Amino acid sequence: MIHALRPLEWLLLGVAGLLGLLMVGILSSIGDAPQWLPASAADVRANTAAKVLVAPSATLESLAGTWQAPLFSPDRSPDRAVGQAAVSSLSSLVLTGIVLDGDLRVALLKRADGPPLKVHQGQTLPNGWRLAHLTPRDARFVLDGHTQTLSLRALRLPLPSTTPPITLPHESTP
């Protein structure tokens, strides 16, 4: 036996019926065909008369001045090469670690103003110094006959404390 429905139940039945009709409309593909506008005659004529632009050709010799005298440099002189910046010493580098494992020989360096470096033995740093020799404590670098050695810092433990250890009072347990 069905009792009389409350107004809220009637409202929910109406919403369910509307949603059912919407699903039937969607599934029956009503309104799926696109409605295209006709092409205007002015656009068709404009596309046929469009000119194709071609970039001008330039020879390598005509562009030589571009890299020899940069446009945005105030003194109009060529830029320095990155690898040729000569540094007289390795004072801005700190040796932070050495890896010696069979053929793998790597020095780990920390720059004062940049990211850390990993240099294999025989490899050259960006400032021109070449890692010539590695020992478990030192890295020897060579540049134009000059040699500099960076050593690992030896961290030492502090001296033992002279204060006596804490003692607890002796109390008997109950």
Query: What mean pLDDT is predicted for residues 5-15?
Result: 91
Most confident of 72-76, 86-90, 158-162: 158-162
Average pLDDT, the chain: 81
Cβ atoms of residues 134 and 122 within 8 Å:
no
What is the CATH code of the structural domain delimited by 93-151? 2.30.30.830
- Asked if the model's pLDDT at residue 84 lies above 50, the reply is no
Bigger pLDDT: 7 vs 73 = 7
Bigger pLDDT: 75 vs 113 = 113
Neighbours of 143 (CB within 10 A): 19
Query: What mean pLDDT is predicted for residues 63-68?
Result: 72
Q: Is 107 exposed, middle or buried (0-12, 13-18, 19+ CB in 10 A)?
A: buried
Q: What is the pLDDT of residues 16-61, one digit of tens each?
A: 999 999 998 888 877 677 778 887 766 655 666 677 788 888 888 8
Start-to-end Cα distance in the chain: 78
Q: What is the pLDDT of residue 88?
A: 53
Indicate whether this model's pTM tops 0.75.
no
Q: Backbone phi, then psi, for 143, in 5-degree steps?
A: -150, 115
The Cα 40–Cα 29 span in angstroms is 30
Of the candidates 85, 106, 105, the residue with the CA atom closest to the CA atom of residue 96: 106
User: C-alpha angle with apex 64: 58 to 65, nearest 5 degrees?
Assistant: 110
The Cα 123–Cα 131 span in angstroms is 6
Bigger pLDDT: 81 vs 86 = 81
The Cα 114–Cα 108 span in angstroms is 13
- Asked if the model's pLDDT at residue 79 lies above 60, the reply is no
